[in-house]
Amino acid sequence: MSEAFMVVENGKGEQVELELVDRLNIDSKEYVILSQMNSDDAFAYRIDEKNGKRKYSSIGAGAEFKKVFDAYVQKHEND
């Protein structure tokens, strides 16, 4: 992943370019928030290291997503 964007394959097999919105470190885990260009929708990915390679795991609804969302809101509440 570059510092500005990454390309992912969606559920339909289409490649989608996402831009980096933010990076967060929560409970010793690294997360990135990505958004499709010119969109208000955003996606959260946890970055895991395996065998020296980075793996980006999408996090959906649930406790982990809420933790990331709350940390993002707290970080940017005075912006």
Contact by Cβ (8 Å): 6, 15: no
Task: Identify the pLDDT of residue 2.
Answer: 44
Domain spans of the chain, in order of start: 5-76
Q: Other C-beta atoms within 10 Å of 69: how many?
A: 15
- Residue 68: phi, psi to the nearest 5? -70, -45
3-class DSSP assignment, residue 24? strand
Note the pLDDT of residue 28.
94
- Calpha distance 60→43 (Å, rounded): 8
Residue 3 banded pLDDT, cuts 50, 70, 90: low
- pTM here is 0.79
Q: What is the pLDDT of residues 9-60, one digit of tens each?
A: 878 999 988 899 999 999 999 999 999 888 888 889 999 998 999 888 889 8
Structure tokens at 71: 């940390």
